[in-house]
Amino acid sequence: MNMNRIFLFLILGTIAVFASGTIDGEIVKQPLNVSAIIMFVIFVSGTLGITYWAAKRTKSAKDFYTAGGGITGFQNGMAIAGDYMSAASFLGISGLVYLKGYDGLIYSIGFLVGWPIILFMIAEPLRNLGKYTFADVASYRLRQTPIRSLAAAGSIATVILYLIAQMVGAGKLIQLLFGLEYEIAVVLVGVLMILYVTFGGMLATTWVQIIKAFLLLSGATFMAIAVMANFDFDFSALFAKAVEMKNTESLDIMSPGGLVSDPVSAISLAVALMFGTAGLPHILMRFFTVSDAKEARKSVFFATGFIGYFYILTFIIGFGAIVMVFQNPQYLDLAKQAISGGSPILGGKNMAAIHLSHAVGGDFFLGFISAVAFATILAVVSGLTLAGASAISHDLYASVFKKGKADGMAEMKVSRIATIALGIIAIFMGIAFEQQNIAFVVGLAFAIAASANFPILFLSMYWSKLTTRGAVVGGSLGLATAVALVVLGPIVWVQILGNAEAIFPYKYPALFSVTVSFVSIWFFSITDGSHDAVAEREAFEAQYVRSQTGIGAEGASEH
Amino acid sequence: MKQELVDKIKANPDYQELVSKRSSFSIKLTIAMLVVYFTFILTIAFNPAALGARISPDSVTTIGIPIGIAIILFAFILTGIYTKRANGEFDDLNNKIKQSIKED
């Protein structure tokens, strides 16, 4: 295999990421897709109009970071769903169902079950204690400089990794769907995202996410209904036809396959998805856009409903693609078939949902779904960039460098500059990683979120004995362990670096790195006898009262 | 928050009721979600064939499919149960606490 090229990137000087190889072979650029481009232009003009409207309403730092705190629970639930349902989950999970059937459902369930836990444990204290970023909560009674620096490092690492995955996905998708050059596609996504976030802040980002969630849910609903209509809405008939198409006696696609094969991997994946979701900075930030804990709870309720519904739709879409796309000569990649046999579809398995949209709704609907996929990427990268920019401006600039003495205007200016910088980094990374195997990138982002961000956040809320030393040492060790185990694991060490055997045998490191994080936070906290540590423990009581009641909380009505 | 206010809220029986009821409720729901999910994921790890059983001899549909969909619905219903109680009963208690500090 062609795996000679090794790239070394230093992210924040601490995280080394290795990558090489290709994703799905050469992508053949498609002819210009006119209906998709028209619909996409409509979406972009609409969202730029919203950005213009939002820009006039974004006057203070609070407006910029949290849309003034005036988003309703329903709107925020929709926006969270818009943030969370990335193109990777729409195309990736339906592609996984298309290829492996039931395994796709296992994956979706893992992505969903973190949400109830966020509601029961995180949402309220987060809303009651924080202002703009989750570091506000983590550093509430601990020393600002070290905790904010670490939280910002965890946030920025998560955001950049996630951005790389989105940008590369965007470039390939747009190349395939719209017939644009890869580089042009990446630059276009980067520029639009910079425009939304720099001018419209959280208000524009929220509305881009709401509109995108609405379009994606409508499009996916239509596809699922169109598929089911062919089978008189009888699931058994759909499954029976799919099994027949796959031509297997063994019901492979109807049962768990190789996604999680051993107990350690299974638990480790579960830990990564659950705790990782609760440690994603762009998701946590969304809880500050609502007025109080009541609306924060409603947000999770609606978000869980939308996301769960969406995963059920992707399952139907995946099976629909088995029936209507698999072995349909119209969608076959004949060149690839001639070499490797089987029935590969154009653009690889992640295109299953896209081909299905053509099969059920013709060129027009293909254009619609393509535009939705593009919109999806824009919405997700905007949320990510805003979260990364907030970590830079609110945590690093205002709290660490200015020691909390920055004025709101200067802070907002820094976050706009940070947005532009992140956008440019994302464009360059997107281009640099074009030919690289980025399969591990989102997994690494979740592992870091689960191992560094989540333990600090969770323990700062609930464990009175947590100290700055414990949080900094434990959080850093968790982060370092997650990165090291991903690098030494089967995907990077074997598939990308070409070594014969993985030093760390599991694909998912979270079980180990999260344990390292919690244990070392515990150990370095209880052994901390410093003067500061005593004060930090004493301050827990007042923090806990505020986290439980919201009295004194940011943006709450005065009492 | 001033220490006197903290002490006052902590001494308020409504606060104690709120914290103990809400904590035990959220811990119970968290455990319910974890038990359901880990039972599912460990079944996949140790005994995947259990989920691959047909729901009836003449159907290709396996028992794993309704179970998977049911877990998605279960997660959603749990968030609904929590939100309903927290936005009603718990917020009422919380408002009483806020009222009591306002009165002074």
ipTM above 0.85, yes or no: yes
What residue numbers bound the domain in which B94 lies?
A: 22-102
Q: What is the mean pLDDT of chain A?
A: 87
Residue of B nearest to A262 (CA): B45
Beta carbons of A98 and A323 less than 8 angstroms apart: no
Nearest CB neighbour to A270, from listed B37, B61, B79: B37
| Integer Cα distance of A457 and A136 in angstroms | 10
CB–CB contacts below 8 A, A to B:
165
A391: in domain: yes
Average of pLDDT values for A194-208?
94
Nearest CB neighbour to B60, from listed A254, A274, A312: A254
How far is the CA of A337 from the CAs of A21, A101, A124, A346, A348, in angstroms? Answer: 21, 22, 53, 10, 12
| Integer Cα distance of A35 and A367 in angstroms | 5
Average of pLDDT values for A322-329?
87
Nearest CB neighbour to A542, from listed B1, B18, B75: B1
Instruction: Tally the domains of chain B.
Output: 1
Phi first, then psi, for residue A10 (nearest 5°) are -100, 115
Asked if the model's pLDDT at residue B55 lies above 80, the reply is yes
B69: in domain: yes
Residue matched to tokens 């906290």: A525
Give the list of residues 6+ apart from residue A469 with CB closer than 8 angstroms, or none: A524, A525, A528, A530, A533
Phi first, then psi, for residue A404 (nearest 5°) are 80, 10
How would you write A467-515 as a 3-class SS string? CHHHHHHHHHHHHHHHHHHHHHCHHHHHHHCCCCCCCCCCCCCHHHHHH
User: Which of the four pLDDT bands, split at 50, 70 and 90, describes residue A24?
Assistant: very low
The string of pLDDT tens digits covering residues A98-145 is 988 898 999 899 999 999 999 999 999 999 999 999 999 999 999 999
User: Do B44 and A548 make contact, defined as CB atoms within 8 angstroms?
Assistant: no
**CATH code (residue A393):** 1.20.1730.10
B65: in domain: yes
User: Do A304 and B44 make contact, defined as CB atoms within 8 angstroms?
Assistant: no
Beta carbons of A441 and A164 less than 8 angstroms apart: yes
How far is the CA of A88 from the CAs of A84, A348, A435, in angstroms? Answer: 10, 13, 17
Nearest CB neighbour to B59, from listed A113, A236, A301: A236
A500: in domain: no
Which of these, A433, A489, A477, lies nearest to A160 by C-alpha position?
A433
Would you state the pLDDT for residue A488?
92
User: Which of the four pLDDT bands, split at 50, 70 and 90, describes residue A418?
Assistant: very high
Tell me which chain A residues have a C-beta less than 8 angstroms from the C-beta of B97: 549, 551
Average of pLDDT values for A42-55?
92
User: Do A113 and B69 make contact, defined as CB atoms within 8 angstroms?
Assistant: no
Would you state the pLDDT for residue A431?
92
Asked if the model's pLDDT at residue A558 lies above 60, the reply is no
User: Which of the four pLDDT bands, split at 50, 70 and 90, describes residue A30?
Assistant: low
Average of pLDDT values for A218-244?
92
Burial of A282 per CB tally in 10 Å (0-12, 13-18, 19+): buried
Average of pLDDT values for A500-517?
92
Give the list of residues 6+ apart from residue A160 with CB closer than 8 angstroms, or none: A11, A388, A422, A425, A426, A429
User: Which of the four pLDDT bands, split at 50, 70 and 90, describes residue A442?
Assistant: confident
Nearest CB neighbour to A312, from listed B29, B34, B69: B69
Of A264-273, A312-321, A472-481, give the lowest mean pLDDT range.
A264-273
Average of pLDDT values for A368-388?
91
Tell me which chain B residues have a C-beta less than 8 angstroms from the C-beta of A270: 37-38, 41
Would you state the pLDDT for residue B95?
92
User: Which of the four pLDDT bands, split at 50, 70 and 90, describes residue A13?
Assistant: very low
Would you state the pLDDT for residue A17?
26
Residues paired with A71 in a beta bridge: A290
B12: in domain: no
Rg of chain B (C-alpha set): 22
Average of pLDDT values for A514-535?
94
Would you state the pLDDT for residue A31?
65
Which of these, A477, A551, A467, A530, lies nearest to A124 by C-alpha position?
A551
Give the list of residues 6+ apart from residue A334 with CB closer than 8 angstroms, or none: none
User: Do B52 and A239 make contact, defined as CB atoms within 8 angstroms?
Assistant: no
Asked if the model's pLDDT at residue A38 lies above 90, the reply is no
Distance of residue B62 Cα from the nearest chain A Cα, in angstroms: 6
Asked if the model's pLDDT at residue A249 lies above 60, the reply is no
Would you state the pLDDT for residue A180?
82
Name residue B29's amino acid. L
Which of these, A111, A12, A556, lies nearest to A294 by C-alpha position?
A556
Tell me which chain B residues have a C-beta less than 8 angstroms from the C-beta of A311: 72
Q: How much of chain A exceeds pLDDT 90, in percent?
A: 57
B6: in domain: no
Asked if the model's pLDDT at residue A3 lies above 70, the reply is no
What residue numbers bound the domain in which A321 lies?
A: 33-436
Of A54-63, A296-305, A475-484, give the lowest mean pLDDT range.
A54-63
A478: in domain: no
Instruction: Tally the domains of chain A.
Output: 1
Tell me which chain B residues have a C-beta less than 8 angstroms from the C-beta of A102: 51, 62, 64-65, 68
B91: in domain: yes
A556: in domain: no
Which of these, A280, A285, A293, A283, lies nearest to A131 by C-alpha position?
A285
Asked if the model's pLDDT at residue B68 lies above 90, the reply is yes
